[in-house]
Structure 1
Amino acid sequence: MRVLWVYAHPEPRSLNAALRHEGLRTLTGLGHEIRQSDLYAMRFDPVVDRDDFGAGDGRLIVGDESRRAYEGGRLSDDIVAEQEKLLWSDTVVLQFPLWWFGMPAILKGWFDRVFVKGFGYGVTHPDGRTKRYGDGVLSGRRALVVVTAGSPATALGPRGINGDLEELLFPLLHGTLWYAGMAPLAPLLVPGADRPTNYHQTAAKLRDRLIRLPDEEPLPYRHQDSDDYDENLVLCDDLATGESGLSVHCGDRRSAVRDFSPNRG
């Protein structure tokens, strides 16, 4: 595999840093090729502005200007470098701590700046239909999210007070990765990260996921261009009948947290 590891944590002596080292060592030992984006170490700028697109002083319409810059080769060098890494890869690992139920701002900004119109979205078929939700420039790639959280695994389960992890990460897994064509795998949760009691067990779980990475089945999100949705992009009445909410867009609606809770070894 050609793996791009995108890492977002500011402390090189953290649990996250140790797990990244373990993950990279495992992948290298398995013979995979690796490139990295260590966003804090790179001092990656997360803020979208007109300098990204070489835009003038007129009104900035980000989507339109980003497409023109992408198609015209005018994107800033740091954006182009990250896009080249993505196009080189066939697998992406995204590692970050769960801060206020989402990604750190620097990683959100990485998506904002790198997934410009014409690259991450706004891509069309010859007949004018938009490629999204399972289709797009980045289709054919797989993505694994490795996320640390201070709470126990049970609190991020289906009935946990913090909400189910897959639903918390729905904007990333479904609304960003799947939208742009990438196939997300069930996320790997590292719970109790501010009070780790068994690092070796946690590292072993990460190694196991990375070993299985080439053959692991992705989350069964529904394709937009299928018979699952009507012309208004609403799930058809004969699917998940009587149900609503985020989970209806995932075929078996299982919880990733249950797979990696401490009680499952």
Structure 2
Amino acid sequence: MNVLWVFAHPEPRSLSGALRDDGLRTLRALGHAVRESDLYAMKWNPVVGAADFGAEAGDGRLVVGATSARAHARGELSADIVAEQEKLAWADAVVVQFPLWWYGLPAILKGWFDRVFVKGFGYGVRAEDGRTLRYGEGRLAGKRAVVVLTAGAREPSMGPRGVNGALADVLFPVHHGTLFSAGMSVLPPVAVHGADRVPDDEFTEARDLLRERLRTLETDEPIPFRTQNGGDYDEDLVLRPDRAPGGTGLGVHLTRAG
């Protein structure tokens, strides 16, 4: 497989950095081809602006979605965005690694998605019959993605009744709203809890957990999200009454509990 590793941590000597280094070695030892986007090392610009869109931006009001779609179609996106899109086009699988900060992604990684997943590439993709291709379909369909994260909170506090909220709910925006929305099949995450105080034996466990996930990257079952165009949602994109009847919340968007 071709694997793109997107890394968003400012300190290469951190726990995250050690896991990334071991993960890259593991992938290469398994025979996979690997490319990397180390966002802090690249000094990635996370801010969307008119300079992203070349001549398409013009001198008037910047309408980001429409302008980015035209720039993408006409090959006028900035070189740094194009380089990341080419990596994604090359990849069969994407590893997205970050520390969980304030229930979300570090700003530099959020900005990577904002600038790279432009309209016509990450969203706003249409079929010949006019259907919008998202949530299981789209330009990135057929690719696999896995999130690798470190969190300061201990694991029980990110369980179903934990004060920090269930991990699956916390990751729903990136899992469902970003990766799956763009068409990718999303594997269960690799999470390391209590990251600021991991002793040697727990690091070994975390390393081995990541190694095992990478060994089964091609075969692991993805999170069973419902596809948008698979018949589960009505014309208003609301779950039909006979699917998860009476249910509400994020879990109803799974075809089965998990």
TM norm structure 2: 0.97
Equivalent of 2:122, from 104, 120, 123? Answer: 120
For each residue in 1:169-202, what CA deviation from the matched residue of structure 2 results, as whole angstroms up to 9, or x when unmatched?
Answer: 1111001111110011111110010000221111
Specify the alignment match of 1:47 in structure 2. 47
Give the RMSD, CA atoms, in angstroms: 0.7
Q: Distance in 2 between matches of 1:235 and 1:120?
A: 23
**Residue 241, structure 1, aligned to residue 245, structure 2:** yes
Equivalent of 1:149, from 138, 148, 151? Answer: 151
Moved over 6 A (4+): none
**Counterpart mapping for 1:49-198 below 5 A:** 49-54=49-54, 55-197=57-199, 198=202
Specify the alignment match of 2:4 in structure 1. 4
Specify the alignment match of 2:204 in structure 1. 200
Deviation of 1:22 (Å): 0.6
Q: Which runs of 5+ in 2 are unaligned?
A: none
Specify the alignment match of 2:256 in structure 1. 252
Deviation of 1:253 (Å): 2.8
For each residue in 1:27-66, what CA deviation from the matched residue of structure 2 results, as whole angstroms up to 9, or x when unmatched?
Answer: 0000000000000000000000000001222100000100
Partner secondary structure for residue 197 of structure 2: coil
Deviation of 1:136 (Å): 0.3
Specify the alignment match of 1:263 in structure 2. none
Q: Distance in 1 between matches of 2:158 and 2:144?
A: 24
Equivalent of 1:210, from 210, 214, 232? Answer: 214
Q: Distance in 2 between matches of 1:128 and 1:230?
A: 16
Q: Distance in 2 between matches of 1:6 and 1:79?
A: 14
Partner secondary structure for residue 26 of structure 1: helix
Specify the alignment match of 1:258 in structure 2. none
Q: Distance in 1 between matches of 2:232 and 2:42?
A: 42
For each residue in 1:205-228, what CA deviation from the matched residue of structure 2 results, as whole angstroms up to 9, or x when unmatched?
Answer: 111111111100000000111121
Instruction: Give, as a single letter, the amino acid of the residue that structure 2 aligns with 1:100.
Output: W
**Residue 14, structure 1, aligned to residue 18, structure 2:** no
Instruction: Give, as a single letter, the amino acid of the residue that structure 1 aligns with 2:46.
Output: P
Identity rate of aligned residues, in percent?
A: 61
Deviation of 1:242 (Å): 1.3
Instruction: Give, as a single letter, the amino acid of the residue that structure 2 aligns with 1:220.
Output: P
Specify the alignment match of 1:24 in structure 2. 24
Partner secondary structure for residue 4 of structure 2: strand
Q: Distance in 2 between matches of 1:253 and 1:196?
A: 31
Q: Distance in 1 between matches of 2:216 and 2:136?
A: 22
Deviation of 1:252 (Å): 2.2
Q: Distance in 1 between matches of 2:68 and 2:227?
A: 26
Deviation of 1:251 (Å): 1.9
- Residues matched between the structures, number: 254
Q: Distance in 2 between matches of 1:205 and 1:123?
A: 35
Partner secondary structure for residue 46 of structure 2: coil
Q: Distance in 2 between matches of 1:185 and 1:200?
A: 22
Q: Distance in 2 between matches of 1:244 and 1:150?
A: 29
